[in-house]
Every structure is written in structure tokens, then in C-alpha cells.
Amino acid sequence: MSGAAVMEKPTQQADRVENKPAKIEAFVRLFNEVSVCDLVANLDTKVETLEIAGQVFPLTLNDGSEAHNCYICCPTSAYIDYAMDETRNFAAHPLLRRALSTLIGACAPLVRASGLDRQAQVNNWLYSTNPVPLLDRPTAVSLRAALTARFPDRAIVIRSLNDIADPATMAALRAEGFRMLAARQIYIFADRSAAPAMTRDMKRDRACLRTTPFERVGNEDFTEADYARAEQLYTMLYLDKYTPLNPHYTARYIAEMHRRGIISLAGLRRPRGELVAVTGLFENGGTLTQPIVGYDTSMPVADGLYRMMMAVAQDHATLRGLFFNMSAGAADFKRRRGAVAAIEYNAVYAGHLALRRRMAIRVMEAVLAWVGIPLLRRFEL
């Protein structure tokens, strides 16, 4: 098979995401034992555990006063700063870029009026992609009641919902008054078979892994020096090449998340030398995400470092029969490796908030549906 694979949308499965209490306890303890900014350098938030209807979630709290906060806890950064930064992709089309910048600037007062930065965010693992457990309507009712009572002046937010993995959850939340704010276009590798169809590019990636002169580094092989190098590699790709608005995961974060069994690591190193590529994998129930990817961007593209890290993650998903949410970006690359596109949403409940904030959120939902989603699909953002 060559080019992009065509795949039917899988039905939602209750086992796809399973928040294990022990892993959540380890995560919440970490962010209460260590200063948040020592773990994610551009983030300010408070992390707690939330128990609702027999389910456990990590909960983050923000009051909206945090300056220059990372978008994973700050919708203003996501919908204004990050969106404005994304217009760099249209450098070859200056008129379109100018039009998009004007549109984003015009919407900025609306986003600020929503007060979404003052929020209680459910199931926030502080990744760009946080797979959400199946939420039925009674659970949505309990969640809404508990959080609005405790936080009468905060929006209730759940990120990372998409219509491939989460149709039942989205329907339950909508029925209980949650608004669905389009966020970005993501890519899903949903073939959980033991032998998924291999596209031509997937075959090339595996051939690159087989013949690379670099040594494979397994989850048990990481050293203190590797953690520091992993931060450098992640920074080269996600902060320097992409945008400094991405989460700045530190060496301390990578080390602690790995040691506490929250993420697993894999990489490539020079023979008996330093890492040249790294990836961090987060496995939750039957779902895999890849919150950390980094490589030495000064090395030749022909070395295939990024391709090999993505292949390592995809092979991990196949070996363990996992639904792989490949997150956003690199659209053509991911399509050519069997992934299908989906719009990702932020679910927001604001029924308990002031009329001004409710109306701003309602208008945001409409603008994103009428303008945002067509743009995301047209330009694969």
C-alpha cells in the first residue's frame, strides 16, 4: 500500500482509557512534592485528585492571574497566542496570513471575556493530549454538580475530546450543558490488529530502524545524563523549531515521570555516546499518546531520527494492541503512516457563570464551528 491509508472510524470502547488510581496518585504527588515550574518551566497551576462516580481524575486549578501561562492550562494562550503563532505556516501566502492574523486579533477580546483562564480542568495530565475515560450521562451530571458547587466562579474544562474516540462522552457532556469548543486537528492510528496494513512510508521507517548506525535505548537504559540530554532534544524540536508556547518539560520532569512509572522512554544514541533522539510514551488503558519527542535538529534529515521515533511509538502501539492518538501537527507525515484526522474539542461548562462569560463562550463555540473547523480541515492545522 502506498500513500495514506483509509481506515474506518472505530467504535468507542469503554476500555480505551482507564485512569488507574495508583498512576494518578503518583502524578499528583509529584506535582505537589516538586514545584510545578521545576517540572514544566512555563507552567503555573495547582494539581489535585478528583474522585467522581467511582472514577479518579487529575484536576488542575487556575485563577486566570498567571502571566504567560502555557496553553495546557490557559485557553487564552491556546486560542490567541498559539493560533497567532500558527499563522507562520502561511508565510508563502501573505494575504491569507494577514487575514487570519486580523481574525484572531478581532476574536481576542471575546476569548478574554470568556474568563476561561479561570478554570477547573478535569483529567489534565499536563500533556498536549490527555485521553479521556468514557463518561456516561450520570457521571457528567455528578461531575457538573460537584465542580460547580465547589468552584462557582470557574469554568469547568475537559480537553482532548475527539469524535473518533469520544462520541459517547461528547454526547453525554452536550446533554448536560457542556459547550464543545474546537481546538485543533489531530491524527489517530486506530488499527489495533497485530498486523496493521503497512504503508510504503511505514515500511521505509522500519528499514531505517533496522539499518541505523545509532544504538537503540530501551526504557530501562536511561541514565541521569540521558534525562538532561532528553530535555535538550525535546527543546530543539518542540520549543526551538516549533514554538516556545509548547510545554517546556524539564530534565527533572522527564526523570521523575519516568522513575515513577508514569511514562516510558525510548531513544537512539551514538555508539556508547549521547542520545540523538528520544520519545516518551504515556499508556492509559487501551490508549497510547506520545507527549515527548525530540531529536538533534542539527543532524541531517536523511538520518531519519524523527521518523524512527514515530515508528518506535507506532510499533509499541501495535505490539500492545493500543489505540494511538498521534496528536496534532505533521499532518501529511501522519496520514502517510495510516493515521486518520479528527477534530479535537475542549468541553466547557459555564452554566453557573455570569451572563457575560456564558455569552462569550457561546459565541466562541459558534465562531469555532463556522470558521475554525473549516480552516483546520482545509489547512490541516
Task: Give per-residue pLDDT as tens, 81-124.
Answer: 999 998 988 878 899 899 999 999 999 999 999 999 999 999 99
In a domain, 314, yes or no: yes
pLDDT beyond 80 at 5: no
The mean pLDDT value of the chain amounts to: 94
In a domain, 35, yes or no: yes
Strand ranges of the sheet holding 46-52, from the earlier edge strand across to the other edge: 46-52, 55-63, 118-122, 155-162, 340-349, 179-189, 323-328, 287-295, 275-284, 264-269, 215-217
pLDDT attached to residue 309: 99
Using CA atoms, how far residue 224 sits from 94, 252, 291, 293, 305, in Å, is 46, 10, 20, 18, 22
Q: Are residues 118 and 156 part of one domain?
A: yes
- Tell me the average pLDDT across 44-55: 97
> Could you tell me which residues come within 8 angstroms of residue 64 by beta carbon, excluding any fewer than 6 positions away?
115, 117, 118, 119
Q: How many domains does the chain have?
A: 2
pLDDT tens digits, one per residue of 185-225: 999 998 777 778 899 999 999 999 999 999 999 999 999 99
Q: How far apart are CA 233 and CA 278, in angstroms?
A: 7
pLDDT tens digits, one per residue of 133-156: 999 999 999 999 999 999 999 999
Structural domain harbouring 241 = 200-340
pLDDT beyond 90 at 68: no
- Kindly tell me the sign of the dihedral angle through the C-alpha atoms of 39, 42, 44, 50: negative
In a domain, 352, yes or no: yes
Cell of 277: 533522539
Q: Are residues 347 and 326 part of one domain?
A: no
Q: How far apart are CA 73 and CA 124, in angstroms?
A: 8
pLDDT beyond 80 at 3: no
Q: Are residues 345 and 332 part of one domain?
A: no
CATH number at residue 235: 3.40.630.30
How many alpha carbons fall within 13 Å on the CB side of residue 196?
A: 28
Q: Are residues 265 and 151 part of one domain?
A: no
Q: Are residues 154 and 244 part of one domain?
A: no
How many alpha carbons fall within 13 Å on the CB side of residue 123?
A: 23
CB 276 within 8 Å of CB 270: yes
Would you place residue 15 in the very low, low, confident or very high pLDDT band (cuts 50, 70, 90)? low
Q: Are residues 367 and 259 part of one domain?
A: no
Q: Are residues 297 and 225 part of one domain?
A: yes
Q: Radius of gyration (Cα) for the chain, nearest Å? A: 20
Q: Are residues 273 and 346 part of one domain?
A: no
In a domain, 141, yes or no: yes
Q: How far apart are CA 318 and CA 168, in angstroms?
A: 25
pLDDT attached to residue 378: 87
- For the entire predicted model, the pTM comes to 0.94
Q: How far apart are CA 58 and CA 74, in angstroms?
A: 16
In a domain, 107, yes or no: yes
- 3 state DSSP class of 55: strand
The residues facing 360 across adjacent strands are none
pLDDT attached to residue 118: 98
Residue 279 identity: T
Backbone angles phi, psi at 222, to 5 degrees: -80, 135
In a domain, 192, yes or no: no
CB 342 within 8 Å of CB 186: yes
Residue 57 belongs to what H/E stretch?
strand 55-63
- Write 365-372 long-range contacts (CB < 8 A, 24+): 365/179, 365/180, 365/181, 367/107, 367/110, 368/181, 368/182, 369/182, 371/103, 372/182
Q: Are residues 328 and 363 part of one domain?
A: no
CA end-to-end span of the chain:
26
288 closest CA partner among 188, 219, 221, 380 = 188
162 closest CA partner among 146, 189, 182 = 182
Q: Are residues 157 and 59 part of one domain?
A: yes
Q: Are residues 242 and 174 part of one domain?
A: no
Cell of 311: 515508528
Q: How far apart are CA 271 and CA 263, in angstroms?
A: 25
In a domain, 42, yes or no: yes
How are beta strands 287-295 and 264-269 bridged, if at all? Answer: unpaired
> Could you tell me which residues come within 8 angstroms of residue 203 by beta carbon, excluding any fewer than 6 positions away?
none
In a domain, 29, yes or no: yes
- Kindly tell me the sign of the dihedral angle through the C-alpha atoms of 117, 122, 126, 129: negative
Q: Are residues 174 and 38 part of one domain?
A: yes
Cell of 228: 538532561
